[in-house]
Amino acid sequence: MKRMSLVALVLALALAFVAVLAGAMLELAPAAIDLRLPVAAHLADSGVTHPVTAVLLNYRGYDTLLEIAVLLLALLAILAVVDDAPASPSRVAHPVLQALARLAVPLMIVVAVYLLWAGAFRPGGAFQAGAVLAAAAVLLHLVGLLPGWSRPRLGLRIGLAAGFVLFLAVAAGLLTQGSLLQYPPAAAGVLILLIESGLTVSLALILAGLFLFLSREDEA
């Protein structure tokens, strides 16, 4: 009875929070500045043809740079508190599940590559591609084909930090022009593709690591 009452209380509080949040969002006033027209007017100089990608990697690229830093710091915080015990073998799933995972993962890699390529002119990009690759790694772990990760070795460390370091290097190089992440129009597309390619790999490893480093603790 006490457990049911506690569950009911938690549900009631959650519903109340959702109602308050929805009410606050409905009462929001229209934006004082409509940025759609300025973004569209300068889209040709951004290096991409999709406005969201232009905002994330060009007009407000420093926001995206800091978001990558936050994710990397979150993973470093996890590594700081987990022990150094070697990873245990993963629980082996049914052979049918393993066969399905082996079929699904190559398709997920193709989808990730497509999302990375499509980000220049439609919804997609490094975050979506990295999330799909990370999901593929988690899927392999859940069916017993990939063990939980132990302390990262040099290669994995390089992969985790490469996207952020590459992004930071491009930003530092562009500071010589007097502005942070203000790409030359002629090179904007190439630089954004370079950054997104590096971010795809690092984001995939970071997001997978947030699960696989902790799953090793559960298996121990």
For each of the chain's 220 residues, which pLDDT tens digit applies? 677 888 788 889 999 999 998 888 888 777 777 778 888 888 888 888 888 888 888 888 888 999 999 999 999 888 888 766 555 555 677 888 899 999 999 999 999 999 999 887 887 889 999 999 999 999 999 998 888 887 788 899 999 999 999 999 998 888 887 777 788 888 888 889 999 999 999 999 999 999 988 775 455 4
Q: Tell me, what's the pLDDT at 217?
A: 47
Q: In the numeric block, which tokens belong to residue 170? A: 């491009």
CA distance 116 to 195: 11
Cα 32 versus chain centre, distance: 30
Contacts of 216 (CB under 8 A, 6+ apart): 82, 85, 87, 88, 147, 148, 149, 150
Q: Tell me, what's the pLDDT at 137?
A: 95
Cα 152 versus chain centre, distance: 19
Q: In the numeric block, which tokens belong to residue 187? A: 């090179």
Residue appearing with tokens 């209380």: 9
Residue appearing with tokens 């859940």: 142
CA distance 56 to 115: 15
Rg (CA), the chain: 21
Residue appearing with tokens 């790409």: 183
